[in-house]
Every structure is written in C-alpha cells, then in structure tokens.
A and B are shown apart, each in its own frame.
Chain A
Amino acid sequence: DIQMTQSPSSLSASVGDRVTITCRASQSISSYLNWYQQKPGKAPKLLIYAASSLQSGVPSRFSGSGSGTDFTLTISSLQPEDFATYYCQQSYSTPPRITFGPGTKVDIK
C-alpha cells in the first residue's frame, strides 16, 4: 500500500502568514493527490484535487503543487477561518486503495 506522510504534524501561525504544508507519498502517485480541511466536529472539506486544481467555492488563497512523491498545500495569507487540520489523500492505486496522510494541525500563534 502507498503510505502518506505530512510535515509538520502541527504548526502555529498568525493571521496573514503564508503557510506551507508538505505531503509525501511512499511511491510515485503522479498528480493523484487531494487536500482536505477539517474543523473540529465537522466533516472534512475538499480544497484541492489532482494536486493543483482548486475545488469550486474554495478561496484562491489556497493552492496546491507537486507531482510524483512530493506535494505542497499553500495558504497565501492565513485567515481566522483557516485554523483547522489539513489532510492529504492519494487516489493513485488501482484498484482503489485510498490512503490519507496523518494530518497537519494549524493553530493560532
């Protein structure tokens, strides 16, 4: 199975900061990488699919990049509503063997 890792596991940042979260796959997954945001007590919300495509309705301050094994999620200017946990998820395997990263918690400095 493809294993996903994320770094850092948590970070503290201030409103207006630029934040970058990294996700790494144990083998190449091309661009089959999605990013989700989860707030406490809520279901995850899709932010980015296929590594760099912004889901409809998601603010443009969120962006994704990468291919192969290394990916990044960037928040260009952190807003109060962005404090949450972020998960990457690979959709490369055939047949589907979907795996999520362990998550990165973004909290207020």
Chain B
Amino acid sequence: QLQLQESGPGLVKPSETLSLTCTVSGGSISSSSYYWGWIRQPPGKGLEWIGSIYYSGSTYYNPSLKSRVTISVDTSKNQFSLKLSSVTAADTAVYYCARRFVVVVAATSYFDYWGQGTLVTVSS
C-alpha cells in the first residue's frame, strides 16, 4: 500500500523559507504514470494546489505562488520536497503531499494518494 508522509518544521518565522519533505513508501517515485504534488489548506478554508513534479524533475507551479515556490525530487531517497520563500502569516496552512495519477489515454489526472498533512504556522 502506497504511503506518503510529510515532514518538516511546524513553525516558520515571517520572511523565512518554509521547507517540507514528502517520503514515499510502498512504491517507487520513479513510476512513469505519476506526478507528485503539494496542496495546502489554510485553517478553516479550502484546498489550494501549490505545484507538481515528475520524477525526471519537470515541474508545474501555481502561477500565484510560482515566484516563491521550488519543488524538487530525490529519486534515490524516494522523496520530493517543497520550498516556499518569503513566507507570511497567509502561508499558515496544513500542507499535504499527494500522488497525481495521469491517465494518458484519457488525458485526465487525479490525486489518488495523500499524506496525512502537516500544519505549518508562520509566526515570530
């Protein structure tokens, strides 16, 4: 059974960089049908896609966050990571990592496996 687990600091100071890692177990991050993504959810609010990465390193970012986001992958560790720079209180959220299954023949995709989420609070 595939499992994803987020890890990283739960508290980040304003203007600093938020860094999280997602460790994938029970399957390979290098599988050709999958992208790996980050989604966040501010307390009491909805879901916001941050970005996705393919095992080759190809990335896609939410345009509203693109200037501050870097997503990277380490296939040797079966992990991918998120860095969000210049954070403010508005970046306080539960951050989820998830697998995006791309169905090429149907040209569709969906998030089928999710981590449990980790709360990151931006505060001095």
Chain A residues within 8 Å of B, Cβ to Cβ: 1, 31-32, 34, 36, 38, 42-46, 49-50, 55, 87, 89, 91, 95-103
Q: Hey, which chain B residues are within 8 Å of A34, CB to CB?
A: 110-111
In the complex, what residue of chain B is closest to A91 when comparing beta carbons?
B109
Pick from A38, A45, A98, A101: contact of B49, CB under 8 Å: A98
Q: Is the CB of B114 within 8 A of A100?
A: no
CB-CB < 8 A to B35: which residues of A? 96
| Contact, CB under 8 Å: B106 / A50 | yes
Interface size on B, residues (CB 8 A): 24
A30 → chain B, closest Cβ, in Å?
Answer: 8
Asked whether B108 lies within 8 Å of A31 as measured between CB atoms, the reply is yes
What are 12 contact pairs spanning A and B, CB under 8 A? A36-B111, A43-B96, A45-B114, A46-B112, A49-B108, A50-B110, A91-B108, A91-B109, A95-B60, A96-B52, A97-B63, A98-B37
Instruction: Give the docked Cα–Cα distance between A43 and B49 (Å).
Output: 14
- Interface residues in chain B, defined as those with a beta carbon under 8 Å from any beta carbon in chain A: 35, 37, 46-49, 52, 60, 62-63, 96, 98, 103, 106-112, 114-117
CA distance A93 to B48 in the complex (A): 15
Residue from A50, A87, A98 within 8 A of B46 (CB atoms) = A87
Contact B60–A100 (Cβ < 8 Å): no
Measured between alpha carbons, how far is A34 from B52 in the docked complex, in Å?
Answer: 17
Tell me if B111 and A99 are in contact (CB < 8 A): no
Minimum C-beta distance from A48 to chain B (A): 9
A44-B111 contact given A100-B47, A103-B46, CB 8 Å threshold? yes
Q: Across chains A and B, which 7 residue pairs bring their CB atoms closest together, nearest first?
A: A43-B114, A98-B49, A49-B110, A100-B47, A34-B110, A91-B109, A96-B60
